[in-house]
C-alpha cells in the first residue's frame, strides 16, 4: 500500500515512520519538501502520487503562541486540512487526520466520547476544530483525536521537563488539569491499525489511565532520577490561574477510547509507557 505522510518531521510523523508496517510504501514529506499551506502544490502532489491513503500529521501545535498567531494557526490547522481533504476526495485517496483533546472545554467529569460536543477554549483548539469540520465534509475520512502526546525525541512536555529539571532545583507544574499522557509510538501503532481496519469517522486514542500535568512531571522526575538522567528536582504543584499561561486549556480532557481499543488493542497505562520512553531517552544520551 502506498501511503503519503504529511508532517513527517514532527513527533507523530517520526513515530509513524518508525512503526511503519511491512509492505508499506511510505512517501514521507516534511515542511521543506511540501508546504501544506501551498494549496496548488499540495493538490498537484496528491493528484500525481495516487496513494491509497494520506496521513496528515502536520499541525501548528504551539498552544500559547497560537493566541498571537491566529492566522498562521488556522492556515495550518484548518485551511490546509480542507485542501488536503478536497484533493484526497478527487483522487480517491483515503484521508487520516490527527486532532486533539483541546477541541473540548474541559467541563466534563467523565471521559469525552467521540460524539461529545466540541467547545474549544483557545485559538489552537478552535483551529483544530475547524480542521476537523473541514475533514468531516468527506465521509471516507478517518479522524483520530489524541492527547498529551510526547516521545523520546522532539519538542514536547517530557523534553521540556527534563531540561528544566536539569537547570533548576525546583519547578512549578499545573496540578488542576487532567488528561492522559500518550506515547507518540502508541498513537502511531493505533493509526496503522485503524488504517488497516479501514476505519472511518471519529476515533479517540490515548494510552490508558489519567493524571495531571503535575503528576506527569513527578513521574518523569522520579523515573529519570532512577535512570541517572538527572540529579533530582522538586516538582511543586500550582494552579493554572497562578501559572498564567497565555492560552486557556481544558481542566479535564480525558478521552473515551473504548470504541477504538477493540481495533487497536488496549495500550499500556501511561505510567508504564513512560518507562520505555525514558529508557529510549537514556540509550540515546
Catalytic residues: 124
Coil vs helix vs strand at 63: helix
| Proportion of the chain in helix, strand, coil states, percent, rounded to 5 | 45, 20, 40
Contact 187, 48 (CB under 8 A): no
β-pair partners for 197: none
Instruction: Tell me the C-alpha distance between 259 and 44, whole Å.
Output: 36
Instruction: Tell me the C-alpha distance between 114 and 69, whole Å.
Output: 28
Contact 136, 181 (CB under 8 A): no
Cell of 252: 479535564
Going from the C-alpha of 87 to that of each of 42, 53, 90, 158, 262, the distances in angstroms are 8, 12, 5, 36, 31
Residue in this structure with the C-alpha cell 495500550, named with its chain if needed: 267
Q: What angle do CA 266, 119, 158 make, to 5 degrees?
A: 50
User: Nearest Cα to 34, choosing from 60, 64, 2, 58?
Assistant: 58
β-pair partners for 4: 27, 54
Contact 144, 203 (CB under 8 A): yes
Residues in the chain: 285
Amino acid at each position: 500500500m502506498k501511503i503519503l505522510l504529511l508532517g513527517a518531521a514532527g513527533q507523530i510523523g517520526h513515530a509513524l515512520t518508525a512503526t511503519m508496517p511491512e509492505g508499506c510504501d511510505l512517501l514521507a514529506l516534511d515542511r521543506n519538501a511540501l508546504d501544506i499551506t501551498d494549496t496548488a502544490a499540495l493538490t498537484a502532489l496528491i493528484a500525481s502520487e495516487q496513494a491509497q491513503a494520506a496521513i496528515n500529521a502536520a499541525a501548528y501545535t504551539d498552544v500559547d503562541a497560537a493566541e498571537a498567531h491566529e492566522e498562521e494557526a488556522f492556515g495550518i490547522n484548518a485551511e490546509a486540512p480542507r485542501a488536503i481533504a478536497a484533493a484526497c476526495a478527487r483522487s480517491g485517496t483515503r484521508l487520516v487526520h490527527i486532532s486533539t483533546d483541546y477541541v473540548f472545554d474541559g467541563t466534563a467529569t467523565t471521559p469525552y466520547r467521540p460524539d461529545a460536543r466540541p467547545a474549544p477554549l483557545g485559538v489552537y483548539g478552535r483551529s483544530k476544530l475547524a480542521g476537523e469540520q473541514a475533514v468531516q465534509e468527506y465521509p471516507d475520512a478517518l479522524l483520530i483525536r489524541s492527547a498529551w502526546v510526547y516521545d523520546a525525541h522532539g519538542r514536547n512536555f517530557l523534553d521540556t521537563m527534563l531540561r528544566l529539571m536539569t537547570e533548576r532545583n525546583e519547578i512549578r507544574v499545573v496540578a488542576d488539569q487532567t488528561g492522559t499522557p500518550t506515547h507518540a509510538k502508541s498513537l502511531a501503532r493505533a493509526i496503522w491499525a485503524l488504517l488497516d481496519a479501514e476505519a472511518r469517522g471519529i476515533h479517540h486514542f490515548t494510552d490508558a489511565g489519567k493524571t495531571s500535568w503535575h503528576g506527569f512531571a513527578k513521574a518523569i522526575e522520579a523515573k529519570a532520577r532512577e535512570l541517572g538522567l538527572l540529579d533530582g528536582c522538586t516538582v511543586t504543584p500550582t494552579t493554572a490561574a497562578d501559572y498564567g499561561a497565555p492560552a486557556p486549556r481544558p481542566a479535564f480532557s480525558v478521552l473515551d477510547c473504548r470504541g477504538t481499543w477493540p481495533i487497536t488493542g488496549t495500550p499500556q497505562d501511561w505510567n508504564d509507557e513512560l518507562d520505555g520512553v525514558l529508557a529510549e531517552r537514556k540509550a540515546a544520551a
